[in-house]
Structure 1
Amino acid sequence: MGTVTPIIAYLVAFLGSALGLLSSERARNTSGALRNWWLTVAAISIGGLGIWGMHFTAMLGTWMGTNVAYDILITLSSMVVAIVVVGIGLLIALRRDDERFWPLAAGGLVTGLGVAGMHYTGMSAIVINAEISYKTTTVVISIAIAVVAATAALWFTKEVSGPLTVLGASLVMALAVTGMHYTGMHAMSVKVSQSTALIPENAEELIMSLIIGGAGFSVIIIFMLALTSPDEEGREDTEQLDRVLRRTESRGLTT
C-alpha cells in the first residue's frame, strides 16, 4: 500500500470535509430553498467525497495478495448510503433554535452507523478469489470510531465558522474519517484461494477513479462559488448599505 495512497486518501477526506463545513456555515445563515441547497451540498461533500471518496481512494491502493474487482452497483449503492446518512445527520443536528445535546447525539449515532454501513457495504462489493473474514472486536471498535467521528463532524458543522477554523476542523475530520477506514481494514483478513481462477483485471477501478476525480473537480468549483457567494446575512448588509447610499444620494439632489 505504501504511503502515497493514504496521503491522497487523507487529502480527499480533507477536501470533502472543508467544503462540507463551509456549506454548513452557509446553511446556518440562510433559510428556505437556499438552506436546503447548502445542506445538500454539505451532505454530498462530506458523505460523497470526504467519506466515500476517501474510502475507495484508499481501496484502490490496497493490495490484497491477488487481483481484485468491484461490483459497480454495490459500490455506487454504498456512495448513496454515505450521502443519505450524512444528510439525515445534518438535518437532525442543525435544527434551528435547538441547543440541546440530544439532536447532536442522535445525528451522530445515525450518521456513524450509516458510515460504518457504507464501509462494510463497500467491502462487500469486492470480487476476489479469496476468503474474507473479519475480527469482531476490531469491527466493533471501527463502528465506535465512526459514531464518535460522525458526532464530532456534526458538532463542527453546527459550531464552526471562519476560514481558519474551517481549515483546522477539516484536518481533524479527515483524520477521524481515515482512522475509521483503516481500523475497519485492519479488521479484515484475506486468505487467497489457489483452487479458483484469478479475477481478471477490469475497468471498475478506472470507473471509480473517474467518479472520484470528477467529484473532486466539481467540489473545487463549488468550493470557489461558496467562497465568493454572500450568505443571507451578507446580502442583507449589502442591501442595507445600498439603501443608505440611495438615501444619501437623494438628499444630495434635493439640497
Structure 2
Amino acid sequence: MILHGVHDHYLVVLSIVVATIASFTALSLAERVRDSRERARRLWLAAAAMALGGGIWSMHFVAMLAFSMPGMPIRYDLAPTLGSLAIAIGFTGGGLSLINWSRPSLKRTLAAGLLIGAGITGMHYLGMAAMQMGAALSYDPAWVALSIIIALGAATAAVWLATREQQVGRRAAAAAVMGVAIAGMHYTGMAAATFTQTAMRVDAADGVASLGQTFLATAISLVTLVVLLLALGAAQLERLLTAGARREAGLRFFATLNDRLFASGDATDAMTAATALLGTELRASRCAYADVDSDGDRFWIRSDYTAPGSKARPGNIS
C-alpha cells in the first residue's frame, strides 16, 4: 500500500527561513572573501562554506522533520545523516575554492555552481536514505531530474551573486530568492518520493510532526541561526576594523607626506619626496610627476620614483 505523508506547516516555514538566512550570511561572507587575501581569504572561504553548506543541511534536516506519515515512526540513521552534512559543507567549500575571486570568470562560476549543486543533490538523497521506517522508498525519475535542475540552478545563481558587489537591500532580496529556491529543491525531491508500506501498520493520525520532531527541528534551527548570526557579527566586526585601519593608514600617510613636503628645500625635492612616498605606499614599480605636451602625444617626466629592480625612464616619452 502506498503511504501519503504530511508536512507540518510551521516547520516548512522554519526551513525556508533557515535557508534564507544561510544564503544571506554566505553572501555577506563572500564580500569578505573578495576583499581579503591569502590566509584571511582562506579563513573566510571556510566560514562561507560552513554557513552555506551547513545552513542548507540544517534546512534539509528541519524539512525532513517536518515530514511525517500518520501512525508510522520515522528515525534517522546517524552515519548517513552526518555524511550528508559533510557532503554539503565539503562540496560547497570545493565550489567556492574554484572561483577566481579577484577576476571571476563564467567558466569557473559554472563549474563552482555545478559542484555545489551536485553536493546539494547528494546531501538530499543521502539524507533521504538515512530514513528508517516500515516503508520502502522509490523515486519518480522526472521529479528527481527536476530537483537536480533546481539544485544546480540555485547553486549557480548563488555563486554568481557571491562574486558581485551588492548593497544590503539587494543582498537580502537575493537571499530570499535563493532560500526559496534551495527549499524548493528539497520539497521537489520529496515530491519525487513514493513510500510503500512493508511491515508496519499505519493508523489514522493528526497530520503534523510529533512533539519530538518539532522540538528537535526547532532546536536545530536555533543552533544554526545562532551560528549564522555569529558569523554575520564576525564579518561586520572585521569590516569595521578594516575600515578603521584604512582610515588610520590614510591619515598616517598624509601626516608623513606633510612632514616631508615641509622639510623639502624646493619644488624638485618636494616632488621627489611625494613620488617616493606614494610609490612605496602603493607598492608600485614606478611613480612620477610629468608634464604633458599640448598635443597630448608626449610627456616629460620631471621626478621619477622606481622600486628596486625597476629601471628609471626620465626625460621625453612619446
TM-score, normalising length: structure 2: 0.70
Partner letter of residue 131 of structure 2?
I
1:23 partner SS: helix
Of 141, 150, 154, the match for 1:149: 154
Higher CA-based Rg: 2
- Flag the 1:77–1:34 CA change in 2: closer, same or farther, 3 A: same
Check whether the contact 2:9–2:66 (CA below 8 A) recurs between aligned residues: no
Partner letter of residue 87 of structure 2?
V
Superposition deviation, residue 228 in structure 1: 2.6
Map 1:89-238 → 2, pairs under 5 A:
89-92=95-98, 94-193=99-198, 195-196=199-200, 210-230=219-239, 234=243, 237-238=246-247
Aligned equivalents of 1:206, 1:3: Cα separation in 2: 14
Aligned equivalents of 2:229, 2:9: Cα separation in 1: 24
Superposition deviation, residue 197 in structure 1: 7.8
Is 1:77 the counterpart of 2:83 in the alignment? Answer: yes
Identical-residue share of aligned pairs (%): 31
Partner letter of residue 241 of structure 1?
G
Bigger fraction of residues in strand: 2
Aligned equivalents of 1:233, 1:239: Cα separation in 2: 10
Partner letter of residue 85 of structure 1?
F
| Count of aligned positions | 247
1:191 partner SS: strand
Aligned equivalents of 2:123, 2:230: Cα separation in 1: 26
- Bigger relative CO (Cα 8 Å, ≥ 6 apart): 1
Aligned equivalents of 1:149, 1:111: Cα separation in 2: 9
Aligned equivalents of 1:210, 1:8: Cα separation in 2: 11
Check whether the contact 2:101–2:163 (CA below 8 A) recurs between aligned residues: no
Aligned equivalents of 1:247, 1:47: Cα separation in 2: 47
Superposition deviation, residue 248 in structure 1: 9.1
Check whether the contact 1:26–1:231 (CA below 8 A) recurs between aligned residues: no
Q: Which runs of 5+ in 2 are unaligned?
A: 1-6, 203-209, 264-318
- Flag the 1:140–1:196 CA change in 2: closer, same or farther, 3 A: same
Partner letter of residue 61 of structure 1?
A
Moved more, 67-76 or 99-108: 99-108
Moved more, 128-137 or 225-234: 225-234
Is 1:57 the counterpart of 2:66 in the alignment? Answer: no
- Flag the 1:133–1:80 CA change in 2: closer, same or farther, 3 A: same
Q: CA RMSD for the aligned pairs?
A: 2.7
2:137 partner SS: strand
Superposition deviation, residue 205 in structure 1: 8.2
Of 11, 17, 21, the match for 2:23: 17
Superposition deviation, residue 208 in structure 1: 6.7
C-alpha offsets along residues 161-190 of structure 1, whole Å, 9 cap, x if unaligned?
231121111111101101100000000011
Superposition deviation, residue 99 in structure 1: 3.7
What's 1:67 paired with? 73
Aligned equivalents of 1:246, 1:117: Cα separation in 2: 57
Map 1:31-46 → 2, pairs under 5 A:
31-46=37-52
Aligned equivalents of 2:8, 2:220: Cα separation in 1: 23
Partner letter of residue 161 of structure 1?
Q
